Amino acid sequence: MLQDKIKTWVFLIATFPAMAEELNIEPPYQIPTFTGETLEFKKIKPAINPAKTVDADLIVKTVNACYPVSPMKLEVGLRAGSTYRQHDNTQQFMNSIDSSAYYAGVVATLPLYSGVEIDREQKLAIDRKLNTTKIVAELLNALSAKRRAERMLGLYGSLEKRSQKRVQEGIIAVDEQIGYLEKVATTQGELDAANAQIEGSRLALIHQCQPEDVERLNNFILSEIY
C-alpha cells in the first residue's frame, strides 16, 4: 500500500511541469543562478590544467633590453687664471707699463661622459629594473589568482545549481542557494580583479619600451602568460 502511494507521488512530481504547462498553471518562483545558465549540476567545469611555467627572468630581461636610452648630457667645467711674464732689464724701462707682460685665460674641460651623468644614469637604471621586477611579480600574482578564481567559480556554480534543485524540490530552505549565489558573485569579482591586474601589468611593461618595440614585446608577454 505504501509503495503504491510512493509511486503515485513520484509520478505526480515527474509529470507536474508538463501538467502545469497544459493547464496553464504558473510555476512557483525559482531563484535563478548567478550566471543564469541552465547547466546540469552533475557536470561541473573540469579541473584546470597544470599551471604554465612563466619565465619571469626572461620577461624582465626583455623589457629592460628595449627601454629607450636617454641622450647623453655633457658636463662643462671652466677654469680661469692669470700669470705675469718677467722682462729683462734692458726692456723693463721702456715697457714698464707694457700690458703684454700679463696673461689671463679661461680653460673649458669637456669630458666624454661626466661623472655626474654616469651616477644619474646608474640610479635610473637600477630604479627601472626594480620597477620592472615589481610589475612582473604583480603579473604572476594576478595569474595565480585568476586560475584559482576560475576553478572556484566552476565548483561554486555546480553547488549553486544543485542547491537550486534542492530548493525547488522542497528538500532545503532557500538560504543555502542564496549562500552559494553570494559565493559565485564574490568569486566572479575576484576573477574580474585578476584580469584587470593582468591587463594593467601588461600595459605597464610594454609601454616602457620604445614605440617600435611595443607590439613585439606585447606578443612576447602574451605568449608567455597564456
CA atoms within a 13 Å half-sphere pointing along the CA-CB vector of 135: 23
Q: What residues are paired with 79 via a beta bridge? A: 107
* Contact call for residues 36 and 198 (beta carbons, < 8 A): no
Residue 72 predicted with pLDDT over 50:
no
> 6 versus 175: which is more confidently predicted?
175
Is the pLDDT confidence value at 108 over 60? no
CB 147 within 8 A of CB 48: yes
Sequence-distant (6+) residues with CB within 8 A of 155 are: 44, 45
d(CA 79, CA 101): 21
60 within 8 A of 224, measured Cβ to Cβ: no
**pLDDT at position 19:** 58
pTM for the structure as a whole: 0.63
pLDDT, greater one: 157 or 194: 194
Beta partners for 127? none
Give the tens place of pLDDT for each residue, 188-202. Answer: 999 999 999 999 999
Of the listed ranges 5-9, 64-68, 217-221, the one predicted with least confidence: 5-9
Q: What is the mean pLDDT of the chain?
A: 76
User: Under a CB-based contact definition with an 8 Å cutoff, are residues 177 and 160 in contact?
Assistant: yes
Backbone phi and psi for residue 81, each to the nearest 5 degrees, phi listed first: -160, 165
Check residues 181 and 118 and name the one with the higher pLDDT: 181
User: What CA–CA distance (Å, rounded) separates 153 from 170?
Assistant: 25
The yes-or-no verdict on residue 214 having pLDDT over 90 is yes
- Looking up cell 546540469 gives 40
**Mind listing the pLDDT tens digit for each residue in 1-19?**
556 656 565 555 555 556 5
When computed from its CA atoms, the radius of gyration of the chain, rounded to whole angstroms, is 39
> Of 64-68, 89-93, 108-112, 198-202, which gets the smallest average pLDDT?
89-93
Q: Which range has highest mean pLDDT (22-26, 118-122, 219-223)?
A: 219-223
Provide the grid cell at 43.
557536470
Q: How confident is the model at residue 93 (pLDDT cuts 50, 70, 90)?
A: very low
What is the rounded distance in angstroms from the CA atom of residue 63 to the CA atom of residue 203? 12
Amino acid residing at 60? V
E strands along 49-97, which residues? 77-84
CA–CA dist 216, 197 (Å, integer)? 21
68 burial class (0-12, 13-18, 19+ CB within 10 angstroms)? exposed
